[in-house]
């Protein structure tokens, strides 16, 4: 699962913050399916200039 997550982050790194949020959220919902969330999920993003 870790490798898939890293591939997803690399795919989204050059997108806008809004696009990144959308792709991460939709990927999570697709993966989760109809299962109830039982663990906490935290993800923080920031931009370095």
- pTM value is 0.75
- For residue 27, the model assigns a pLDDT of 93
What is the DSSP-derived secondary structure letter of residue 13? T
Give the span between the Cα atoms of 22 and 43, in whole angstroms: 13
Residue-wise pLDDT tens digits, 2-12: 899 999 999 99
For position 22, what pLDDT does the model report? 95
Average pLDDT over residues 24-48: 89
* The predicted structure's pLDDT at residue 46: 83
Nearest-angstrom CA–CA distance, 46 and 49: 10
Q: Summarize the chain as % helix, strand, coil (round to 5).
A: 55, 0, 45
């Amino acid at each position: 699962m870790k490798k898939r997550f890293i591939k997803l982050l690399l795919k989204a790194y050059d997108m806008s913050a809004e696009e990144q949020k959308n792709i991460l959220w939709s990927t999570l919902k697709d993966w989760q399916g109809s299962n109830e969330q039982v663990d906490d999920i935290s993800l923080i993003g920031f931009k370095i200039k």
